[in-house]
């Protein structure tokens, strides 16, 4: 500031301290206490309701008059202070307008500074990402503290280098597992950038695969056991039961089952292509039908 600004009192404030207000507070308090004694333990009868209302109105009127006088004297007493506060507030308001303008410029400068710094950080990240360019996006590792004015670029670059060093070490550790789920474990790592969590995911998938295999084995064993039990039951079926079923069958049905089918002989002429004749011959052979040329 080109000029020193300060509030200077023309009259020392110590001389402006108002004296205590003197009034008949002691005498009035004693008089009120004495007057109120007549209301101690008073019980109004039904016929004295009008008296109770009048007493209440009289006491409220006294309270209002006393309070109104307090307010009037307070305004007169504090008027110089209120005027002083208003004048000071006017000066402060003008200064705040300029402060606000400066703050807007500082905020704009800070935004530009952070954008420039983040561009530098992002550029270094891209140059250091190498094979991880499509696997570890900048947004995932971005640290808002990097944009602080006190954050050194060399420290930030070292933190970025550490991220990629950890990623390379993690890939080596995951590949050393020789897990069947290696692609899934690597993908999980790149989602979390947490090797410990990725290793736990590998264990979880392994246990899940074991449980699935065990369930499949149990189901196959149960199916095989049921099939063997059914086979044994069929083989051990008593012949007497079969005989009984046969004896209970109608005679006509038994005769029908045991009767030899009657053979019918037909002579007929056929016109067909070679392919159709071959198909017909195959049909006759397949169904054990005797045939001969005429």
Q: Mean of the pLDDT values across residues 238-257? A: 54
Instruction: Report d(CA 37, CA 34) in Å as an integer.
Output: 5
Task: Flag whether pLDDT at 195 surpasses 80.
Answer: yes
Q: What is the distance between the terminal CA atoms of the chain, rounded to a whole angstrom?
A: 134
- Top pLDDT among 69 and 259 is at 69
- Top pLDDT among 80 and 252 is at 80
Other CB atoms within a 10 A radius of the CB of residue 208 amount to: 11
pLDDT of residue 280: 73
Other CB atoms within a 10 A radius of the CB of residue 125 amount to: 20
Mean pLDDT of the chain: 85
Instruction: Report d(CA 204, CA 42) in Å as an integer.
Output: 84
Local confidence band at 246 (pLDDT 50, 70, 90 cut-offs): low
Other CB atoms within a 10 A radius of the CB of residue 146 amount to: 19
CA dihedral 81, 87, 89, 95 (to 10 degrees): -150
Local confidence band at 183 (pLDDT 50, 70, 90 cut-offs): very high
CA angle, residues 105, 106, 108, in degrees to nearest 5: 65
Local confidence band at 199 (pLDDT 50, 70, 90 cut-offs): very high
Q: Mean of the pLDDT values across residues 135-139? A: 94
pLDDT of residue 284: 72
Q: Mean of the pLDDT values across residues 22-46? A: 90
* Full DSSP string of 145-204: GGGSTT--HHHHHHHHHHHHHHHHHHHHHHHHHT-TTHHHHHHHHHHH--HHHHHHHHHH
Q: Which helix (H) or strand (E) holds 124?
A: helix 49-129
pLDDT of residue 261: 63
pLDDT of residue 3: 62
Task: Flag whether pLDDT at 112 surpasses 90.
Answer: yes
Task: Flag whether pLDDT at 168 surpasses 90.
Answer: yes
Instruction: Report d(CA 143, CA 147) in Å as an integer.
Output: 8
> Measuring CA to CA, how many Å separate 206 from each of 148, 172, 209, 241?
45, 19, 5, 53
Local confidence band at 274 (pLDDT 50, 70, 90 cut-offs): confident
Q: Would you say how long the chain is, in residues?
A: 294
CA dihedral 63, 66, 71, 77 (to 10 degrees): -160
pLDDT of residue 253: 52
- Top pLDDT among 141 and 279 is at 141
Instruction: Report d(CA 224, CA 211) in Å as an integer.
Output: 20
63-67, 68-72, 249-253: which has the minimum mean pLDDT? 249-253
Local confidence band at 136 (pLDDT 50, 70, 90 cut-offs): very high
pLDDT of residue 273: 77
Tell me if residue 230 falls in helix, strand or coil.
helix
């Amino acid at each position: 500031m080109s000029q020193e600004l300060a509030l200077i009192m023309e009259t020392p404030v110590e001389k402006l301290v108002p004296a205590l207000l003197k009034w008949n507070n002691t005498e009035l308090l004693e008089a009120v206490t004495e007057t109120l004694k007549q209301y101690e333990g008073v019980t109004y009868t039904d016929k004295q309701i009008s008296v109770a209302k009048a007493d209440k109105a009289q006491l409220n009127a006294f309270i209002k008059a006393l309070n109104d006088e307090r307010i009037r004297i307070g305004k007169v007493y504090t008027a110089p202070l209120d005027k002083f506060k208003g004048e000071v507030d006017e000066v402060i308001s003008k200064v705040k307008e300029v402060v606000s303008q400066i703050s807007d410029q500082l905020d704009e400068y800070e935004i530009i500074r952070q954008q420039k710094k983040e561009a530098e950080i992002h550029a270094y990240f891209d140059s250091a990402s190498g094979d991880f360019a499509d696997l570890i996006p900048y947004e995932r590792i971005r640290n808002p503290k990097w944009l602080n004015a006190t954050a050194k670029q060399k420290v930030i670059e070292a933190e970025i280098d550490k991220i990629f060093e950890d990623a390379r070490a993690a890939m080596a550790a995951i590949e050393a597992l020789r897990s069947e789920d290696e692609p899934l474990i690597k993908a999980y790592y790149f989602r979390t950038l947490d090797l410990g969590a990725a290793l736990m995911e590998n264990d979880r998938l392994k246990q899940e695969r074991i449980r699935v295999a065990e369930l499949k084995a149990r189901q196959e064993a149960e199916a095989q056991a049921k099939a063997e039990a059914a086979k044994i039951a069929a083989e051990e079926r008593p012949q007497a039961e079969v005989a009984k079923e046969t004896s209970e069958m109608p005679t006509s049905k038994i005769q029908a089952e045991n009767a030899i089918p009657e053979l019918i002989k037909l002579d007929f002429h056929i016109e067909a292509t070679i392919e159709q004749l071959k198909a017909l011959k195959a049909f006759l052979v397949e169904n054990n039908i005797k045939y001969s040329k005429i």
